[in-house]
Amino acid sequence: MTAPKIESVDFFYLAMPEVTTAADGSQDALVVRVRAGGHEGWGECEAAPLPSIAAFVCPMSHGACRPVADAVLGAKVETPDDIRAIAAKVAYDSMDLLQAAHTWSGIEMALWDMLGRARGVPAWQLLGWERAYPKTPYASVLFGTTADETLARARDIRSKGFRAAKFGWAPFGASVEADADQVAAAREGLGPEGILLIDAGQIFGEDVEAAAARLPAMEASDVLLFEEPFHGHAYRAYGDLSKRSSQVRTAGGEAAHNRHMAEHLIDFGGVGFVQIDCGRIGGLGPATDVARYAAERGVTYINHTFTSNLALSASIQPYAGLEDHRICEYPTGLSELAVDLTRTRIAPDAEGLIHIPDGPGLGVDVNPEALETYRVDVEIRVNGDSVFQPPST
């Protein structure tokens, strides 16, 4: 019998009727379906949909700037090594196509899902883990516009049974005093036992002094980690801040679009926590490599995700087997689109813990109705040929 080959890769671009400038990444989605040898798998890019689709279907520019489709369609996919071989081909043949990493991430995820479904085993097992440990979810929310609003949000999170919460983005960064009030409000609302995380949303660029000025208030409120104080590539700034901060550890990595970037943030940025988005870094394979790399160096791995439960399940697979890496980003306040996208629901159990779904692959069933309800109609034509239209469900 010949090995199954990838027959189709379909991109479903979905969006809420209205998309706002809020830092809410669940307002649209790019869902990927792959099919090979009678099997099917699903993934999700954490990416701008239109440029990501374009990176799959675009005409070739030259030998090192080929569309992602060229490395994927028709490729053999029977084992985990096959997925890694396709990844290497994408990285080399599309090295000059910047968006390729985001496009490939959703496809790679779908390939693990498909392989797991074909074999009847969960993706984390294919990734080399012996078992999947439960995680402690932190509710991931935006700061309120005032400290009072933040206090109310923190109380609400606590009342819902969460042991941990992350507050992020504007107005954080406004002033040292206002930021201190915000952090104190979050701590007050969460109670003394809660695990508190702060996400600066890159607001300090590469200004180490500005970020360091926020440390005393964070130490006073027993903040566990200080996420993305800087531009995702500013490793020197991370390194300098990490040296000045012993109690509150720096965290970052969500912008990593390859394994190297995450490793550099550990090696040169000195982060205590590395946060990986499988929908950007190239999928589950490189994310798992980073999890092992982090664990060997005493750095804690955390998933990064702020979209659907499909992306959530994918994001936990790479560190499912690391028992001591316990906390897990758990987006609350998802858009209707992101909620409707999956029939499977991942929710905290009675003890407040998250369990990776049992089923094969990613263990998440996509809801075909949502693919219709939220569909964005995109057509791309090149020299008279239609190179992309929405796939049928």
> Which CB, 116 or 390, lies closer to a copy of itself?
390
> Which CB, 54 or 185, lies closer to a copy of itself?
54
> Which CB, 19 or 220, lies closer to a copy of itself?
19
> Which CB, 187 or 280, lies closer to a copy of itself?
280
> Which CB, 202 or 317, lies closer to a copy of itself?
202
> Which CB, 17 or 192, lies closer to a copy of itself?
17
How many other C-beta atoms can be found within 10 angstroms of the C-beta atom of residue 171?
18
Residues that bind a copy of itself (CB under 8 A): 15, 19-25, 27-28, 46-55, 57-67, 91-92, 95-99, 101-102, 201-202, 206, 231-236, 255, 257-258, 260-261, 263-264, 267-268, 280, 376-384
Comparing C-alpha atoms, which of 346, 350, 347, 353 is closest to residue 323? 353
Comparing C-alpha atoms, which of 166, 216, 156 is closest to residue 189? 156
- Least distance between a copy of itself and beta carbon 135 (Å): 24
- Least distance between a copy of itself and beta carbon 294 (Å): 15
- Least distance between a copy of itself and beta carbon 3 (Å): 25
Residues sharing a CB contact under 8 Å with residue 158, sequence separation 6 or more, in sequence order: 165, 189, 190, 191, 194
Task: Give CA separation, 334 vs 10, 31, 317, 342, in Å.
Answer: 24, 16, 21, 12
Question: What angle (nearest 5°) sits at the alpha carbon of residue 343, between those of residues 342 and 347?
Answer: 85
- Least distance between a copy of itself and beta carbon 251 (Å): 16
- Least distance between a copy of itself and beta carbon 266 (Å): 11
- Least distance between a copy of itself and beta carbon 328 (Å): 21
8 A C-beta contact, residue 237 and residue 257: no
